Structure 1
Amino acid sequence: MEKLKVGRASLTWLNGGVTHLDGGAMFGVVPKALWSKFYPHNEKNQIELRTDPILLQLDGKNYLIESGIGKDKFTDKQIRNFGVAEQSSVEESLRELNLTVEDIDVVLMTHLHFDHACGLTKKIGEDEFKTVFRNATIYTSAIEWNEMRNPNIRSVNTYWESNWQPIEDQVETFADEIEIAKGLRMIYTGGHSDGHAILVFEDGEDSFIHMADLMATHAHQNKLWAMAYDDYPVTSVHEKESWMEYGYSKEAWYTFYHDAYYRAVKFDHTGKKIDEVKRVRYEY
């Protein structure tokens, strides 16, 4: 498991599963001739996308950033359509760190699309589900939580009842911004989803920004490269521009949930990469 130390914060990437989605959809209007120079694709034009939660250990507490795609929650058709080559083994990852799901104090959900939220619950019967991180407070934006429970015609297929009903009593929401711990903030952005949020951690001169699906991979660094999956792509572009400028000025680390090649990248004030944490790759 790859690790990164940022000031007081220790980050460890867990194994949350892997999907393969259409590269054209992931890069929106960007021509394949351009995006394929930065991110590999297979013969089906799909790109490999991790769904790996980040264990954030800070001031004696265990935080989880995102939750993975879960286990045994997909039909055979969904496994085929989403290119699921591996399902979550978050519990096994935690066990290697001498932790259990009961040790997670807080789960930070940037948004609640199924590929981020399926790991929040587990199947225990034919149509019954229960929470996985039963001792945790789960944070997400108020807008996202409302849409999760009342999806629109576009979002109905990505917000699943099985992912929100078992956790209702654990969820705490916020409007624009909330300080989760000293130096750790969740900030509402919108863009990818109506309620999308990012995470910003600052400790003196050290910082990281978890852009979530505003910058899903290192190849999405260009502020104009927004996904076709974004509900509000113009908002995504403006928010990415703002937070990239902010991060460049601080030489912040940018952490990834989906990237199959990099766990984190640091840029200088011009946007040039100056440091990286590569993912150890395995064949499936």
Structure 2
Amino acid sequence: MTIGPYCLDPLEFGRIRLDGGAMFGVVPRPLWQRTNPPDERNRIALALRGLLLRGEGKIIVVDAGVGDSMPAKQRELYAVEASHQQVLAELGRHGVAAEQVTHVLCTHLHFDHVAGFFRLDREGTIRPTFPSAVHFIGSEQLHHALEPTVRDRASYLRAELEALIQAVEVHLVKNEGELLPGLRVELCDGHTPGQLVPIVHSAERTLCYPSDLVPTTSHVRLAYTMGYDLWAQRLLEEKAGLLGRAADEGWLCCFEHDPVTPLTRIVRENDDFAIALDEELLALGKEWHPRT
């Protein structure tokens, strides 16, 4: 798929399982389990889906999943099916080597979005996955990640983050706007402070990557928010605004954690929102199609 100067591809970095109740907050299990069946430990399957942009001499990776830097206990707890090698292999499938990546965009610094951006070498030293890349990180998000609350500190790998930002060129994003030609970001705070929402745009087509603002297609419904969201009401307002524009302007939305459907359009449905597939979507490459 091409938007403006960029060729876009989804990057499938593996799977993870998180508690279904935490993923759907106040929504009762009989509702969310219809589309997200839990395992015997009440965990639901989630994708770790990044985004690759190539064009105008730039190779950009948006989020990178879990990699293999997490402790074994956490990997078992979350049923992690991901590795550093898988990050490299997925890029290799598109003919991209890690050293060729020019820019990295971290939507936020929770472990399931950022841990693929580094690895541990044999001496236990943190090494960046993309050593030549400029790393775009939300300024407020970085500040929060280094001083998290009791409620969300388990979502961050502080020591690893500190090592990463010392090892790479970091561009702190303080304001909304154009990061690169054809790629802008908006800031959201409901899930976590300073989350970046990248939007790839041209006169003909726009794609939004809402990350944990709308992690799966199930979360398109306004009431479907996560227990992980720090400020649920703020998130609801941010989500309503973003999805309203997506519906009214015909944007595509790529969902980072949906295990089945990578890409849809958004439509209004009464006072809420729903997903829709159309002929243009179905004409895209099979990597964008729903998994069966």
- Fold match (TM-score > 0.5): yes
Measured in 1, the distance between the counterparts of 2:29 and 2:153 equals: 29
Structure 1: gaps spanning 5 or more residues? none
Matching residue of 1:86: 82
Structure 2: gaps spanning 5 or more residues? 282-287
SS where residue 153 of structure 2 aligns?
Answer: coil
The count of residues paired between Structure 1 and Structure 2 equals 277
Matching residue of 2:155: 158
Match of 1:118 among 115, 131, 145: 115
Q: 1:132 to 1:214 in 2, by over 3 A?
A: same
User: Aligned partner of 2:144: which letter?
Assistant: E
The answer to whether the Cα contact below 8 Å between 1:250 and 1:269 also exists between their aligned partners in 2 is no
Q: Is the counterpart of residue 274 in structure 1 residue 277 in structure 2?
A: yes
SS where residue 94 of structure 1 aligns?
Answer: helix
Q: Quote how far apart the aligned CAs of 1:246 are.
A: 0.6
The answer to whether the Cα contact below 8 Å between 1:194 and 1:232 also exists between their aligned partners in 2 is no
Matching residue of 1:221: 220
Q: Is the counterpart of residue 95 in structure 1 residue 92 in structure 2?
A: yes
Measured in 1, the distance between the counterparts of 2:53 and 2:266 equals: 21
Q: 1:278 to 1:190 in 2, by over 3 A?
A: same
The answer to whether the Cα contact below 8 Å between 1:251 and 1:269 also exists between their aligned partners in 2 is no
Q: 1:219 to 1:86 in 2, by over 3 A?
A: same
The answer to whether the Cα contact below 8 Å between 1:184 and 1:199 also exists between their aligned partners in 2 is yes
SS where residue 17 of structure 1 aligns?
Answer: strand
| 1:226-260 per-position Cα deviation (integer Å, ceiling 9, x unaligned) | 10011111111110000000110111000122111
| Structural mapping, 1:1-284, within 5 Å | 4-71=1-68, 73-88=69-84, 89-160=86-157, 161-168=159-166, 169-268=168-267, 271-272=273-274, 273-275=276-278, 276=281, 277-280=288-291
Q: 1:233 to 1:93 in 2, by over 3 A?
A: same
Measured in 2, the distance between the counterparts of 1:269 and 1:152 equals: 36
User: Aligned partner of 1:85: which letter?
Assistant: E
The answer to whether the Cα contact below 8 Å between 2:243 and 2:266 also exists between their aligned partners in 1 is no
Measured in 1, the distance between the counterparts of 2:75 and 2:229 equals: 22
Q: Quote how far apart the aligned CAs of 1:95 are.
A: 1.7
Q: Quote how far apart the aligned CAs of 1:111 are.
A: 0.4
The answer to whether the Cα contact below 8 Å between 1:129 and 1:162 also exists between their aligned partners in 2 is yes
SS where residue 16 of structure 1 aligns?
Answer: strand
SS where residue 97 of structure 1 aligns?
Answer: coil
Identical pairs, percent = 27
SS where residue 239 of structure 2 aligns?
Answer: helix
The answer to whether the Cα contact below 8 Å between 2:5 and 2:182 also exists between their aligned partners in 1 is no
Measured in 1, the distance between the counterparts of 2:141 and 2:173 equals: 10
Measured in 2, the distance between the counterparts of 1:6 and 1:266 equals: 15
